[in-house]
Amino acid sequence: MKKMTLPKRNVELLHDAALNKSTAFTREEREQYGLRGLLPYIVSDQQSQITRIMGNLRRKEYDIERYIFLSSLQERNERLFYQAAIEHIDEITPLIYTPTVGQACREFSHIFRHSRGFYITPEDRGSISRILDNWPQNDIRIIVITDGQRILGLGDLGANGMGIPIGKLALYTTCAGIHPHQCLPVMLDVGTNNKELLEDPLYIGYPHERMVGEAYDALLDEFIQTVQVKYPDALIQFEDFQTANAFRLLDKYQDKILCFNDDIQGTSAVALSGILNCSRLTDTTYKDLTMMFLGAGSAAIGIGELMVKAFMEKGLPEEEAVKRLWYVDGNGLVVSGRKDLADHKKRFAHNHEHLNFMDALEKIKPNVLIGATGTGGSFTQEVIERMASYHHRPVIFALSNPTDRAECTPEQAYNWSKGRAVYASGSPFKPVEYEGRWIKPGQGNNVYIFPGVGLGAITCKASRITNDIFLTAAKALANCVGVDDIAQGSVYPPFKNIRKISLEIATAVAEKLFESGLAGIERPQNLREFIAAQMYDPRY
């Protein structure tokens, strides 16, 4: 790697996570920066350090211990953390994000060690611009913000939800090469209605019930407007907001600033990508599919909206496209005669009799069943067997996170369908052996989408991100799935290739942004090389 002059010396250098190389400092560097006597004799290379890290990691008994260990590494040697994550991505990603991040958020106040990220409370109203000056970096390009009200499938975790922005941004760097110093995790800590947290003496958040209404909107808007001034090139990603707020805030800001909602738009793109590839495993093309969703929250409705666009691109009129999508919520089939429907569900409320889930399944006989319930085990043996009776290759997407919230496991889906199901989940599962053959379940996780979308948007200084961008990203991801992946039963590419996949998605996204007039720079001659050259390389 290229040598550089470091701005710090002695112990101060060893305590700077971005600059510290620990035992990898050379003899010359130890002399130059006053490190002699502060490090043991041996000069290690980064690979030796990674070997030591992985050995210590694997000795931990529980995943939450591994999460804490990796967080500590990130806090003391940033480049070693990211290089280890890149080289062991299949092993480390589930530890720094789903499924382990779910437990980490539940216990965040109890395992808190080192403050990372930016916290905003109601007491900061009118002061956000001033206190953002306390953040040490100025060139912020990616902001992930949550208010902690709907963390994964776990509900209101208040300030404990900070584990989500921290984890998402670690994936931006690991999977798409966004420089860590260009990332800002933000917790809009407006309180919590979780009584267990409010009664917990170790809870680190704003110890009041949630602020709502105009005061909530004003606080968030102050932050949004401050970002436009302080970090004009930053992309804001809304994450794990309660469904009604998620749609409302996206509608309010998506045509005004550079932003997207990952639960709505990222989930929709990764799900659509998998469904597009299902035609390679089934006898039904995309335009002929009928789909049913169990769950009608932000993720499920977002998927449906993007699927309508994809149907229309295949030649279906919009009205016909909408009719291909059916939703079941906690009160049964979403139909026009119901008086209890939230606004975001009404577009998909069809003129049909009101049925419970099982009766709706029997009546509609969908090709594709998508779970976004947050309730583990919702796809019972009877559900899967019915789907298998309707279609030779039923498509089962159990997308809820973390792992214990999946609507069914791949083993259940394959066993109950006699090995015929095309299955994908939101969290990682191991390959399943069924009657002497190995089937590799796909992981329909947003990490396939959002890092590439973010990379494409910030490298060409996009002004907006439209829904068409996510359709582009979905198709780019689908194109990354090879013949061998399909042969193993997976509709997603191997996760170990995620940096290459993110680059392909970023290039496709950037092409679409230039085509749409949304890019803020002159188009480079070789767009792919231009983007690749800006990706963070943690090697030293």
Q: Which of 257, 285, 302 finishes a domain?
A: 257
Q: Considering the domain boundaries, does residue 234 fall inside one?
A: yes
Q: Residue 537 to residues 54, 164, 442, 512, 532: CA-CA distances in angstroms?
A: 20, 23, 28, 26, 10
* CA gap 291, 475 in Å, rounded: 19
Residue 355: pLDDT over 80: yes
Whether residue 1 is predicted with pLDDT greater than 80 in this model: the reply is no
Whether 233 and 160 share a structural domain: yes
- pLDDT (0 to 100) of residue 3: 62
**Is the predicted pLDDT of residue 2 greater than 60, yes or no?**
no
Mean local confidence (pLDDT), 67-88? 98
Nearest to 537 by CA among 235, 171, 176: 176
Least confident interval from 16-20, 161-165, 278-282, 422-426: 278-282
Strand partners, 144: 185, 237
Mean pLDDT of 23-52: 98
In a domain, 57, yes or no: no
- Give me 298's structure tokens: 């932000």
In a domain, residue 75? The reply is: no
Please identify, among 200, 231, 257, the residue that sits at the C-terminal boundary of a domain: 257
Q: Is residue 4 scored above 80 in pLDDT?
A: no
Flag whether 92 is in a domain: no
Which residue in the block uniquely carries the two structure tokens 């407007």?
225
- Quick check: is 55 in a domain? no
For residue range 458-495, what is the model confidence (pLDDT) as tens digits? 999 999 999 999 999 999 999 999 999 998 889 999 99
My answer on whether 316 and 210 are in the same domain is: no
> Which CATH number is 324's domain given?
3.40.50.720
Of 86, 156, 158, 96, residue with least CA distance to 121: 158
Whether residues 108 and 192 share a domain: the answer is yes
Q: Is 468 found in the same domain as 517? A: yes
Tokens of 454: 């973010």
In a shared domain, residues 21 and 154: no
Instruction: Please check whether residues 203 and 284 belong to one and the same domain.
Output: no
User: Where residue 4 sits, what CATH number does that domain have?
Assistant: 1.20.1370.30
- Spatial separation of the C-alpha atoms in residues 6 and 155, rounded to whole Å: 44
Which one of 189, 224, 257 terminates a domain? Answer: 257
Is the pLDDT confidence value at 20 over 70? yes
Q: Are residues 361 and 444 in the same domain?
A: yes
| Domain region containing 242 | 100-257
Residue 74 lies in a domain: no
Written as six digits, the tokens of 136 are: 């040490």
Q: Which two tokens stand for residue 171?
A: 């994936």
Q: Does residue 81 sit within a domain?
A: no
In this structure, is residue 69 part of a structural domain?
no
What is the per-residue DSSP string for 398-416?
E--SSGGG-SS-HHHHHHH
Q: What is the mean pLDDT of residues 440-448?
A: 93
230 and 288 inside one domain: no
**Does 375 have pLDDT greater than 60?**
yes
Question: How much of the chain, in percent, has pLDDT values that exceed 70?
Answer: 99
Phi, psi of 422 (to 5 degrees): -100, 115
- 363 in the same domain as 335: yes
Q: Would you state the pLDDT for residue 428?
A: 86
Q: What is the pLDDT of residues 158-214, one digit of tens each?
A: 999 999 999 999 999 999 999 999 999 999 999 999 999 999 999 999 999 999 999
Residue 121 has a pLDDT of 98
Average pLDDT over residues 501-507: 98
Is the same domain home to 297 and 237?
no
437-471 in b/e form (b: 16+ CB < 10 A) is eebbbbbbbbbbbbbbbbbbbbbbbbebbbbbbbb
- Could you read off the pLDDT of 226-240 as tens digits, one per residue? 999 999 999 999 999
Q: What is the CATH number of the domain that holds 236?
A: 3.40.50.10380
Residue 350 structure tokens: 């069809």
Number of domains observed in the structure of the chain: 3
Q: Which of 250, 219, 257 is nearest to 129 (CA)?
A: 219
**189 and 307 together in one domain:** no
Question: Is 450 found in the same domain as 359?
Answer: yes
CA distance linking residue 231 with residue 215, whole number of Å: 24
Report, as residue numbers or ranges, the catalytic residues: 97, 168
